[in-house]
Amino acid sequence: MAELTRMETDDVAVHPPGGLRGVAADFASDQRAFKNVSWGKAMMWIFLLSDTFIFGCFLLAYMTARMSTPVPWPNPSEVFALHIGGQNVPLILIAIMTFVLISSSGTMAMAVNFGYRRERGKTAALMFLTAILGATFVGMQAFEWTKLITEGVRPWENPWGAAQFGSSFFMITGFHGTHVTFGVIFLLIIARKVLRGDFDTGRRGFFTSRKGNYEIVEIMGLYWHFVDLVWVFIFAFFYLW
Sequential pLDDT tens for the chain (241 residues): 444 444 444 444 445 555 666 555 555 544 455 556 677 888 899 999 999 999 999 999 999 988 888 888 888 888 888 888 778 788 889 999 999 999 999 999 999 999 888 888 999 999 999 999 999 999 999 999 999 899 888 888 888 888 888 889 999 999 999 999 999 999 999 999 888 887 766 566 555 655 557 788 999 999 999 999 999 999 998 888 8
Cβ atoms of 101 and 78 closer than 8 Å = no
Q: Which amino acid makes up residue 145?
A: W
**Same domain, yes or no, for 96 and 211?**
yes
Cβ atoms of 124 and 214 closer than 8 Å = no
Q: Which amino acid makes up residue 225?
A: H
Q: Which amino acid makes up residue 208?
A: T
**Same domain, yes or no, for 94 and 159?**
yes
Cβ atoms of 79 and 160 closer than 8 Å = yes
The conformation of residue 157, written as its DSSP 8-state character, comes to: B
What proportions of the chain, in percent to the nearest 5, are helix, strand and coil?
A: 75, 5, 20
**Same domain, yes or no, for 30 and 49?**
no
Domain that holds residue 176: 38-240
pTM of the model: 0.80
**Same domain, yes or no, for 112 and 213?**
yes
**Same domain, yes or no, for 28 and 107?**
no
CA dihedral sign, ordered 143, 175, 111, 99: negative
Task: At 89, give phi and psi (nearest 5°).
Answer: -105, 110
Task: At 160, give phi and psi (nearest 5°).
Answer: -105, 0
The conformation of residue 205, written as its DSSP 8-state character, comes to: S
Please give the distance of CA 115 from its chain centroid, rounded to a whole number. Answer: 20
**Same domain, yes or no, for 103 and 30?**
no
**Same domain, yes or no, for 8 and 123?**
no
Number of domains in the chain: 2
Closest CA to 172 of 24, 63, 96, 47: 63
CATH number of the domain enclosing 191:
1.20.120.80
**Same domain, yes or no, for 24 and 139?**
no
